[in-house]
Structure 1
Amino acid sequence: MDIKTAQEVLACLPVGKTPFYYYKDRYAVFLLSQVIGRQCAIADLKKSAYSGLLHKPLVKDVLAQSGDGQLRQEHLSLAWGNRIDPFLLTLDIWDDKDRSWDQVSRNGYSLVLQLNFSNKHDEFFKRLAEPSDYHQFNCSMHPVLKRQQRDFFRETLAWARIDFDFNTNEALIEELQTDWLRRAKRLLGEIQSGKTRFYNLGANAKPEKLRCYLEAVLADYGDIWDEALLTAALQFIRQELGIAKIYLHTPETGGAIKRIKYTQPPRSLYSSLPRKFCFRQTDKAPEFLQQHRTFRKLEKRLGGTQWHVINLGGNYADITKTATEKPGRPVTLVA
């Protein structure tokens, strides 16, 4: 997107603390809340592309509250996990004028939705790791929250980079990434093998304390960070930007379109994760990309592209498992 659009969005949103709470499988509740309208028949959902969500324990508990075979918004609003992790969301703009470094699908800027740790985590991290201000868990050259950037500071667990176009009502999630957990896993392996490098962690870092922290953070966030990040991104795009049609790269197309020269991102983030979230695959690229001659030439050279897409909103956008790009039938809203 252009810088003016990015800055206007940034100016319209709160700059203070935006809390975000996540519990395991919250994504399933969120997705259902976006596609059922005010209510819909559970039998219809079982035939839809969202049928897999109904098997989540959290959703099963919700369905048990329905005595007439209808799933309602008020049922979903009561869903709550046993363990709730608090995060802080912040928004920034990303562009370094180098398309290969920026890893964007078209020239321009990205919005960055940052999923930041809570103060509880940060205090735990400081106490056990005793880090310097610039440590090895986050790369300052990546789109993480920077010190002195706001009135408060939190360490960034992960981020999502987003491009969008209000004219076509489409958004593309360019990237989902965590430096923190990837580097924590690597450092734990070094400690276990006795080949530890405590660069930028301060002179007082102790292996036993650091190992305690690393084991705790990987256990607490390792299996939810991607769910939490993609849920936060979808919620932001749908509720703040008002965009319903959302794309995500596939591994092969993403690597080619974004010109990723070196290490490819984990395949699961662009394959099994979108499947879990009920995205469907399509060979039709976002319309706002098709408007660019450079993209059309690249797509032709590649022999076509593949994408994940989901259409959120108060209708059955994907009511059947063999859904096409055409909108599905509308939900019958019942008072």
Structure 2
Amino acid sequence: MYIVYLYIDILVSYCCHLIQGFTTYAERRIVEVVQGEERATLNMGIGWRGLNRMMERFKDNMEFTKLKPKMAGIDPDDVYSEVPYEKGFQFLWRIEREIGRPAFDEFLKKYIATFKFQSIDTETFLEFLKTNVPGIENKIDLHLWVEGTGIPPDAMEPDSATYKKICSLAAEFKSGKLPSEDEVAKWSGQEWELYIENLPADVEASQVWALIKYQCYLSFIGISSVLLHMTIVIDKILEKGTVEYLIVHTTILEYFTIADKTSASDAICQLIPLLTQGALIIDGDEPTNAPELPKKAKAKKKRSKEPLIVRIMQTREGLKLGISCLKYGSAKISFGRYTIGQA
């Protein structure tokens, strides 16, 4: 998904949440071509469930269920959610259903051709939509979709047979029934994740233990292969030294949830030198030599004296990462005048 996000962001940059919606839409169109319609619909079903979960999360502050929320004075990390991805996807999917996929594909081609390598805002997109799809504002309440809270009434829950089957199997777990080997034979990690997320909240500990011991589950979930894949990903991230970003903090924290202590300690050993160096900051502008952008300037970066760990721990995920360093680290770690770790 990150590659799709980067590609779309390069083509058209947005001063709004629509980029996440376009990314999710494009990702699912790719999945449909590569893995089939049912797999794409399963992804949509999982996204729909996540969107409804976000409605519950923000029930006391529905502002953050808008596609265009008011963010003045708000730390984006504090309200990061699936809303822009899944509600944004639902918005584009609603337009596709209204005018048909062939017409929507033509609209997207014209849209990208018009605004490629430019930055636009929400209003620009909406005006372009109304100009190129005449009367769309009379068929879809665009204001409600972009400025309204919650899930619009014309949003649609995807109809995935696989999604319904998995949810049904999860509901049966409370009565002690586990899925058969035939039922899980073609499951990937995504199906298992959906199954586990839909387990009843009030199951007995003995039932959970029965699932953990379930040989079929252990063989198909493939923790060892997942760990190997994530280790490769983490190693590449640490080699590049790009550890100041929230998405990296989240990825490393997810890795720690499945890594054994040795693997986690190895990652920490690579992470510590990166956290002890100064954080990258912008230090004025330096003209670029690129001939196609003679009037542009690129930011010059330098490292501050403040260790990176001090800066990243100002965010929730960064703080968790710092605490994880304490948890897995065995040696005393010094950050200038800051010292953490065991003596």
TM bin, normalised by shorter chain, reads under 0.3
Q: Which has the larger helix fraction?
A: 2
Give the structure with higher Rg (CA). 2
Greater RCO, 1 or 2 (C-alpha within 8 Å, sep 6+)? 1
Provide the TM-score with structure 1 as the length reference. 0.22
Q: Which has the larger strand fraction?
A: 1
